[in-house]
Amino acid sequence: MNTLVLLIGNDINNISSGQSWKDLLQDIIAFCHIGDSVELDDKKPFPLLYEEIFLTAIKKHKLREKELKAFIAIKAAEIKGNEIHSAIRELKPEHILTTNYEFTLEGRTPYENTSLINEKFYSIFRRYRMNDINYWHIHGDCLNPMSINLGFEHYGGQLQLMRNYVVSGTFYSSKEVPKASLLRRIHAKQVFFHSWIDLFFTRDIHIFGLSLDFVETDLWWLLTYRARQKFHHKNIPVHNNIYYYIPEEYMAASKFKVDLLAANDVHVVSLPGKDKLAYYKNIVHRIGNTH
């Protein structure tokens, strides 16, 4: 049985022709009819920039967030797949986690949500199963526009539920959701993959195509908490490995991030990255040869 687990970000989509992230931001601002009211500045963390865009639109036009996220979902769904998406599926991993909202990794829009519960907003259990692969959309998906995780408030709510799931236990009404915390269940050797979060403490994970900017507070918290369990609290055994792939050309400029990843027990793998397509082919080939 293939036990491969991948966490994949948006950069693999940049191989496909289409609009850039900056183009999407301009489209969002145009949709909100806020013109020059919001300045795009790289110094603004995106979750806060999203809040600025949305709150400005509310004050000017009483725009509902549901309308804005529906527009973003339509734009996300326009992203086209490429040969890297196909190559990833050919690895036949057991689990693919992704921060992407669209279904290019699946190759088509799924017919059925196979999550433990049907989440409208947050994404602790958001899963689609296709061709024996579990796809976990950890930041929402475009079939459920309100689940798309963009703003600071949404990140805060997601992190709150994640910490409950891992540390203190859950309060969902569904009997299918385990009430005991993940820590208690691991200690009792009762881990079933109800959530993508379970994998971070139990399976090797290969991360690529994901910049892991520090605005990804949910993922950085998870990495930090896992490392604290392994080296400090030691309430549960943590034996799995996490690998983060980065173009070797970025290593010097990204030393600050590489140092933080290493401190959090993440193994950094650098590969030649000048040719983006070749870079991702190399990653897929390397992972395929180790599983």
The pLDDT of residue 62 is above 60: yes
The verdict on 85 and 74 lying in the same domain is no
Report how far residue 150's alpha carbon sits from residue 82's, in angstroms, rounded to the nearest whole number. Answer: 25
- How many percent of the chain have pLDDT more than 90? 87
Closest to 98 in 3D by CA, of 126, 131, 132, 71: 126
The verdict on 148 and 227 lying in the same domain is yes
Q: What is the mean pLDDT of residues 146-152?
A: 96
If one counts the domains in the chain, the total is: 2
Among 78, 98, 128, the domain-final residue is 78
C-alpha distances in Å from residue 249, one per residue of 7, 19, 272, 281: 21, 24, 7, 17
- Residue range(s) defining the domain that contains residue 55: 19-78
pLDDT of residue 124: 98
pLDDT of residue 17: 76
pLDDT of residue 20: 73
The verdict on 93 and 227 lying in the same domain is yes
Q: Which of 16-30, 42-56, 87-101, 227-241 bottoms out in mean pLDDT, i.e. has the lowest?
A: 16-30
Q: Which helix (H) or strand (E) holds 146?
A: none
Mean pLDDT of the chain: 94
The answer to whether 11 touches 88, Cβ cutoff 8 Å, is no
Among 30, 59, 78, the domain-final residue is 78
**What are 165-175's pLDDT values in tens digits?**
999 999 998 98
Among 78, 101, 124, the domain-final residue is 78
Q: What is the mean pLDDT of residues 54-81?
A: 94
**First-to-final CA distance of the chain:** 10
The verdict on 61 and 181 lying in the same domain is no
The verdict on 28 and 145 lying in the same domain is no
The verdict on 169 and 153 lying in the same domain is yes
Sort 52 into a burial class: Cβ within 10 Å, 0-12 / 13-18 / 19+: middle
